[in-house]
Amino acid sequence: MNASPTPRLLSRPNCKINLGLHVVGKRPDGYHDLETVFLPVTQLCDELEIALLPSGETTMTQDGIALDNPPADNLCMKAFKLLQQEFGIGPVAIRLHKHIPFGAGLGGGSSDAAFTLKMLNQLYALGLSVPDLEARAAQLGADCAFFIQNRPAYATGIGDRLTPFDLDLSAYNIVIEIPPDEHVSTREAYAGLHLTPGRRPHLPTALRQPVAEWRNTIVNDFEASVFPAHPAIATLKEDMYRRGASYACMTGSGAAVFGLFKK
């Protein structure tokens, strides 16, 4: 008799970009309140496989783009441990193949963590609802909850308060590029940030304007702190405009830059 196949799931956690990013102010807990619109981008994805193990310890392997942390510290493992502590699940074998660069502002690690929660919920039939998953994802990282529903969202708070945001960019190709050997840590981006009081346009309202007008209204506040230390990122943004982008901007805290090009 043949043994039953090991239950496993395979998914492709995608990245995101930020359409505008306003750092509204610093909170008493040390975090910052933000205003942004998260947009999922499905043409750049990792590969994540989770298989149930009959016994033993949970394992994780990662390949593809080399990461700067060991597998034990990966957010996928932290997502597993979160559910293990609550529901007693396990063990599993996690395999992660990285295509989304880290230190790029693309949310790859957060996406991997959120997809891990969703996959474990399915594999172990935990019955967690979307709000249940979002609440647990928020414990892993500020933008992890976004990847549970994985649809355009207006985000406030630390990026964890999400409101669905309908936006049609089907007339544009989204091009994402990173200058060679450029990485920007979130800590570095915040360290150089100087909050300047001022009236900004209401982001959801500004994003309803034609994309060609975004260049003058939709900004990422982190560019002011990141560009002086990483001029190659600023150069890449200007190069996208020279190549005909209708709009270009750094995403997150960098180092990736995206451009919207008319199809």
Residues taking part in catalysis? 16, 143
Reported as half-sphere exposure (CB side, CA atoms, 13 A), residue 69 has a value of 12
Q: Secondary structure of 162-219 in the HEC alphabet? A: EEECCCCCCCEEEEEECCCCCCCCHHHHHHCCCCCCCCCCCHHHHCCCCHHHHHHCCC
What is the residue whose two structure tokens read 């590029």?
Answer: 177
List the strands of the sheet with 247-250, edge to edge: 172-177, 257-262, 247-250
AA letter at 17: I
Closest CA to 22 of 158, 141, 125, 143: 158
DSSP tag of 30: S
Length of the chain: 263
Closest CA to 94 of 115, 106, 77, 118: 77
Non-local (6+) Cβ contacts of 64 within 8 A are: 46, 47, 96, 97, 98, 99
- 44 within 8 A of 225, measured Cβ to Cβ: no
Distance CA 97, CA 223 (A): 30
Reported as half-sphere exposure (CB side, CA atoms, 13 A), residue 93 has a value of 10
